[in-house]
Amino acid sequence: MSASHSSSIFQPRETDKCTWVSETEFFDIDDELEEADVTIEDLRAGYDTIAKAFAEAHIPFAAIGGLAFTLLGARPDYLTHDVDFQIHTTPLKLFEKLRTMENVRLKTGLQADNFRIHCQIVKDKWIGVDFLMTNNPVGSQAQKFEGYQVLQITPLLQSKLKSYFAREAERDKSDILFLIEKHSDKINTGVLDGDQVEFFLNGLSGAVLEMSRKVLQV
């Protein structure tokens, strides 16, 4: 993203259909959303709402993060509270679409390098949405899975190895093991970071370690 994009601040217009709230109110609501009960149906509804808007605006996208893993069938005992998307577009084009949506809440002073919004999925129920902009064509890194546009397995694994390397969260370890166990045939081990792979393997033992070494070819 260019410097001019990263310094852009988007402000309300009288013609906007979206809802604008102050930064303080936005983050207060954010805290409430993090504590709210979320179902798989909520996450799918959040995906459907954003996917429909992106299709209308011709914005390439793929589900990432916890949403992608949930759609792929992981995390039966844990659901993310947000829906995350990787998109290939300009901040201005994304913003121009968001401001036409009645089911979207934005915070005043919204910056181009920090696109987090709230999306209404059903009456009186909202969910947080984060957008990660990339210069890489998303279409080449996306796959269709049961009708959902999800980031391909290898880029998902790369992102999770990086996250685990940084914070050692058990959730990240579980997600990595899910990909190794369920989608080993789709992993391109040649592009994985060797240090991150070794760091991950150091936290394993026994049969799980052996399986992981075999799949990751270490």
24 lies in the same domain as 74: yes
pLDDT for the residue 76: 63
Instruction: Find the distance separating the first CA and the last CA of the chain, reported in whole Å.
Output: 35
Distance CA 27, CA 24 (A): 5
Map residue 182 onto helix, strand or coil: helix
Domain harbouring 59, CATH code: 3.30.460
pLDDT for the residue 77: 62
Q: How far is CA 14 from the centre of its chain?
A: 31
Range of the domain at 191: 153-216
pLDDT for the residue 71: 85
Q: Which of 170, 165, 151, 171 is CA-nearest to residue 194?
A: 165
103 lies in the same domain as 74: yes
pLDDT for the residue 153: 94
Question: Are 5 and 90 contacting, i.e. CB atoms less than 8 angstroms apart?
Answer: yes
**Block mean pLDDT (10 aa), the chain, length 218:** 53 94 95 90 92 94 90 76 90 93 92 85 92 80 89 93 94 93 94 96 96 92
133 lies in the same domain as 157: no
197 lies in the same domain as 136: no
Token look-up 């390098």 returns 113
Domain assignment present for residue 9? The answer is yes
Domain assignment present for residue 168? The answer is yes
Domain assignment present for residue 41? The answer is yes
Per the structure, the count of domains in the chain is 2
* Residues whose CB is less than 8 angstroms from the CB of residue 81 and which lie 6 or more positions away in sequence, other chains included: 33, 34, 36, 38, 127, 128
Q: Which of 153, 160, 127 is CA-nearest to residue 44?
A: 127
69 lies in the same domain as 110: yes
R_g of the chain, CA atoms, integer Å = 18
Quick one: angle between helices 65-72 and 170-182, nearest 10?
40
Domain assignment present for residue 147? The answer is no
Which residue intervals of the chain are DSSP H helices? 3-6, 23-35, 40-57, 65-72, 91-98, 153-167, 170-182, 194-201, 206-216
Distance CA 43, CA 166 (A): 26
Could you tell me how many helices (H) and strands (E) the chain has, helices first?
9, 10
pLDDT for the residue 197: 97
